[in-house]
Each structure stands twice: as structure tokens, then as C-alpha cells.
Structure 1
Amino acid sequence: MKNYIKPIVALFTVILTGCTDVIDVDVQTDTLRLVVEASLDWEKGTTGNDQEITLRTSTPFFDTQSTNVTGAEVTVTNNATGEVFRFTDQNDGTYTTSTFQPQLFATYTLEIVYNGERYVAEDTMNPVPNITDIYQDTEDGFDDEAIELHIVFTDFEDEGDNYLFKFERPQDLLPTLETGDDEFINGNEVDWWYEIDDDEDEEIKPLLPGDVVNISMHGISRSYFNYMDIVIDQIGGVGIFEATPVDVRGNCINTTNPDNYAHGYFRVTETNRVSYTVE
């Protein structure tokens, strides 16, 4: 038997060492742009003073070098009071402050000066209802054997409330994001449920006993709601009957050179954060 194994091993060695041709792949490139991660979230029960903004540049497909942006000037201004909050450069792409003053219904303006260009963005801080209950069952989802989580809250009486929900397990590569508004639920108690579909191809498992789910619920502006609707649709991937992903623009405008717009979004929200362990 050993006499047969040696020639076979030698043949595979020749085949593997002979495959040395370099294949050049043309990858579509785009202008390197500033990427803004500026989510100022005021978690209920905290002062909301400590906030962080991250700046980097977009990354070429095969580039592995750091794209963190340093040396920028970053401020956030309360448009009603004129109070300016300066974010300190930490020399690693993050800019921080410990003096931010969150104010519901206030509109804030982000200003970034980088490479001689000025970027601005604006958003309004909207309230979020209290979560009054979290429970699990198998009655309301698409799969009557799968566990779903239920988040219970009461929508505010005034119309025009918009929400972003984020569900995340430590073992999942990406969180699940969902948006909702009060068009059909205004002023009522809401039971928002969340279920994970079993996906063997993506190695995604449904909710199982012992799973820890980190949940955040944000009160968001309508403009951010519209933006996230498009982002969530793009995250869904491209199938044979789905639209081709498009360049999703945020609210960061380059006032010096409008064609050199930034990616990302500046948002200010009031936020609930809870963790739930599946039973």
C-alpha cells in the first residue's frame, strides 16, 4: 500500500507547487472619504456627559493600514442655547468629551474641520418611552417553535415618534436593527417582538435558552429613521430579485467642497439599554 501512496503524494506536490500564476482582480475603487461615527446617545438613568465620536477614512478593498483620522477639530453645538462642546483628539481616531449636556427636543450641530475642509451635520434629540416589560414566548413569531422576545412600552401621545431597535448576541457577527414609528400605534401600549430565523448557510441559530441578548431602543428623528430604513435594506444583501446596493449618504455635508461629502451620520438620541437572558 505504501508504494501507491508515494506516487500520489508526489503528484499532488507537483500540482500544488505548479499553481503559481498571479491573478490580477480589478476591484472598483472610489474616492477616499471621511467616515463619521457620531452617535450621541443619552442612556436613561445617566447624565449623558461622556460622549465619543470616531473619525476615519474609507478603506480601499485590499488596504490593511489604519485609516484613523487624527488632527481634526470636532465640536457639537446646542442650537438653542449656543453652548459649544469641544471633543478632544485622543490620537487614535476617537474624539471625546465629558461635558456634553443632553437636552430633549434640542437640535444639535456637529462641526468637523479636517484637511482644510469643513463638515457639518444636524440632528434633534427625541425622547424614548420606558420599557415596561420584557418577556419571551413562541406564540407570535413566524415559527411557532422558535423563541421570540417581546419588548413592551407605551408610545407617547403626540404623533410623529420614531424608534430604532438594536438586538445583539455576543456570538453573532452583526446585530439586528429594526425601525418603527407610531403611524398605527400612536399613544397605545406596544408589544414589539423579535425573532431570529435559523440560517444554516450563515451559521445563525435561533434564540436558545442561555442566550444573552443586549437590547437598545432609541428615540430618533424622522430623517435618521429614513436613513436607517435604507441602511437596513442594504444590509439585507443582494439577491437575484433585489435592488443593487447604492451609496447611502448621511447628513454630514462638506460646506467647503460639496462633492467631497462624508460617509456616516450624526445622531442624538435618548436611549434605553437592557440585557435579557433567554430561559
Structure 2
Amino acid sequence: MRRASDWLLAGCLLVSAATVQADDCVKPVYLTLDTGHMGVAEQVAQVLRRQQVRVTFFAANERTQEGDGSLGVGPNAHWAAWWRARAAEGHAFASHTLNHTYWRADLPQPDGSVRFRVRASAGAQAGRDQIWDAARYCADIKAADTRLREITGVAPLPLYRAPGGKTSPALLAAAQACAGGGYLHVGWSAAGFLGDELPSDKFPNDLLLRQALRDIRPGDVLMAHLGIWSRQDPWAPAVLEPLIEGLKQRGFCFRTLRDHPDFRAWIAAHPSAEK
């Protein structure tokens, strides 16, 4: 008869083996989701729960189908409970600039500094070109970071994604040098562009799914949205779960950007953003 200590040891070994297996991620991919009109947000959340996949959300206060902002607060906090639920599930968060502000051009100044022509797609100045210095650009990144903290109670990562992925070396340097803690930019891999922004008549969902399953490689950063206004046949309801299942069948596993080798050192060096 086995002694109680033997059963205890066996149980510990099983728990240890299960932990090793859970952490044994040799083909990681990093799914990231940017805000949009939020029309598929709950469907996306359901898929992620079913598949037990954690992602990194890049959030801006964009206009939604409800007419409010995706990071609204106070009387416009329609999505606050949704964000809090994602935080409780262990997802990661990062800034997408509060007003979804696109870089359009560098404007070198006589004193050697650089200003930036930008255009926001949300907020009071939406659709208008503005000229910002580095501090003003940092403020827009920081504002989304702060809003995410207020809503979720979770510290965002010291990372950000410029809308459209549009940047310049000067803009990236400005973001990294932001006062109070800089932000490292995160783009996406070539195969990680999942195509949900493309017209569905030319790029149907089944084509996008096949391409992704064929081309994605370990270490890739994948990018899609929580709703794209211009796409007639929404991507997420048709593609997201088959994509996750197909990648799992090919031996891939999903991690947040906390674990990405290109960003781990930056995150560790900016602990204030993880408090």
C-alpha cells in the first residue's frame, strides 16, 4: 500500500508536470487587438474565453456603434465594464493614443527639434491637421494609458501602437523619451497583418484565414481590430476562432506582449508602468 507521503509526492509531480506543460510554449504568437467601432467586441471576448487565449489590447477612445467612445468615462462609460472583464481575465493593455492620432509628417525646426503634423480620427479635433511638439504627442499616448488604468485598475504596458502603424524615427524617439516613462512602439509582423481592414469583396474572410494559417511563423505579432467601419463582411465573427484553432493545431501557443523577447527588457526597465 502506498503511504500518504507517496501520494502527496505523486500529486506534486503531476501538478509540476502540468505547470511545465502549460508554460512549454515553443511556438509563441502574440495576438494584438486594436480598438475600432467595438461592434464585435463581445464576440471576440467570447472566443478568447472559449479558447483560453490572452491577448494585448491597444486602446484609443474611438467612436463606437453606440455613439460613445471605446474608452469613455462618466456618463459615456458604456464599455468600462467590458474592459474590466478583460482585465480580470488576464489580458494585457497598452496605449493606441487617446484620440487615435495619425502621424502625417515630421516638421524639423530651426533649433534642431522636430514637430509633427498629426491628424486625429477621434476627439474634438477629429479630421483636422494639427502641429504638435514631442510633449503634446506624449500627452496623447499617456492619456490613453491613464484612461485604461482608471477603467480597469490594471497598469498598461509601457508600449504603444501608432494608428495605422505610421511613424518616423523622430516620432519613435519622442515616444521613448516621454517624461515620466517612455513608450516603445509595437507594430506587427508581415504575416501578422490579418486583413480585417481590407475590402471584403476583394479579400473575403476565407482567403484571409487561409493566408494567415499558411504564412504565420513563431514569434509573429498579429494584429486585428474590434470592429472596422469600412468592411462589409466583418472579419472577427468568421475568422478569429478558426484562426486560433488552426494555429493551435499547428503547435502554436498564444502569449501577451509581456513575454515577447523584443519588449521584455524595455518593460523590465520601466517598472513604474507595471505597478
* TM-score of Structure 1 vs Structure 2, range by shorter chain: under 0.3
Structure showing greater radius of gyration is 1
TM-score (norm 1): 0.23
TM-score (norm 2): 0.24
